[in-house]
């Protein structure tokens, strides 16, 4: 058995994941806009957390995915292999004028580093793959012995 079957399984799973995220976003948007959560929780955010285990940011990101790209993605099966996490990262950059272009960019750049560099460029920053003279800065990290949480220590 060659790689082709496994590649198909991966792409089928990615498509199912994106379609699932869009359906959840569409449903949450309807629940929120029509206050259908009221009998179940004091706020929409608590409804999302208690009923579905979604953090506030996840619920709003799912709704934004549907609002921004839902209809377009439903009608373009070739783009349904995009990972929802990529689309969430694109949300701050999406406008009515560029949202389709962003989807195609996300689909055409398969590697993680290339995608992240394009995000940096969209934000007006230099990508790690852009030619430049590096200006290295030393940083120090601290780690909690109890929980493992890490944080950057600011130098004065």
pLDDT tens digits along 57-100: 999 999 999 999 999 999 999 999 899 999 999 999 999 999 99
108 located within any domain = yes
Q: Name the pTM for this structure.
A: 0.81
How far apart CA 103 and CA 74 sit, in angstroms, is 13
- 105-153 pLDDT tens trace: 999 998 999 999 999 999 999 988 888 888 888 889 999 999 999 999 8
50 located within any domain = yes
DSSP 128: T
149 located within any domain = no
Nearest of 48, 91, 85 to residue 69 by alpha carbon = 91
The domain in which residue 28 lies consists of 3-129
44 located within any domain = yes
Considering its fold, how many domains does the chain have in total? 1
Percent of the chain with pLDDT over 70: 98
116 located within any domain = yes
64 located within any domain = yes
153 located within any domain = no
């Amino acid at each position: 058995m060659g790689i082709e079957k496994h590649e198909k399984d991966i792409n089928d799973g990615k498509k199912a994941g994106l379609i699932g995220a869009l359906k959840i976003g569409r449903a949450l948007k309807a629940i929120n806009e029509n206050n259908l959560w009221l009998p179940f929780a004091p706020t929409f955010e608590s409804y999302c957390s208690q009923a579905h285990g979604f953090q506030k940011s996840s619920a709003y990101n799912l709704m934004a995915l549907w609002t921004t790209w839902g209809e377009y993605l439903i009608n373009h099966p070739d783009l349904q292999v995009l990972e929802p996490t990529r689309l969430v990262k694109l949300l701050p950059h999406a406008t009515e004028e560029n949202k389709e272009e962003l989807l195609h960019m996300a689909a055409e750049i398969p590697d993680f580093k290339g995608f992240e560099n394009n995000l940096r460029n969209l934000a007006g920053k230099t990508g790690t793959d852009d030619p430049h003279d590096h200006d290295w800065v030393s940083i120090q990290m601290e780690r909690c012995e109890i929980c493992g949480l890490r944080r950057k220590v600011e130098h004065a």
